[in-house]
Amino acid sequence: MPSDQATKVVYKSPDQTEFFVVANHGMRSKWKKDKSIPLIDVVQTFDIHTTITGSNTGEYVHPSKGTLESHFGTSNVDDIVKKIVEEGEEKGMH
């Protein structure tokens, strides 16, 4: 999908580490108003990303199960993606 049709939804944890998912442009705001929209229609994949530096720029890496558990209290990808989409901030692709 072209990058102008994708956006990052970035969640900043209390220790300032940023986690993000790639979402379909405009779908996050629709989903926040209508939770009956399936989350799979909002995000392009259920892949959770961070960067080596912990910010939302740089090389994308998949955080370990332990990292997810320490930041989100769970390693359940569905729950984490939902939290990122609910509480995160939509930013353009870099």
Sign, CA dihedral 27-30-32-36, equals: negative
Q: Are 45 and 78 in contact (CB under 8 A)?
A: no
The mean per-residue pLDDT over the stretch 36-61 comes to 86
Residue 48: exposed, middle, or buried by beta-carbon count in 10 A (0-12, 13-18, 19+)? buried
Q: Are 48 and 85 in contact (CB under 8 A)?
A: no
Beta-bridged to residue 22, according to DSSP, are: 8
Q: Where are the domains of the chain?
A: 6-92
Cβ(20)–Cβ(50) under 8 Å? yes
pLDDT of residue 66: 96
What is the pLDDT at residue 94? 60
- Between 10-19, 23-32, 51-60, the lowest mean confidence (pLDDT) is in 51-60
Q: Which class would CATH give 6-92?
A: alpha beta
**73 alpha-carbon distance from chain centroid:** 16
pTM of the model: 0.87
What one-letter code names the amino acid at 93?
M
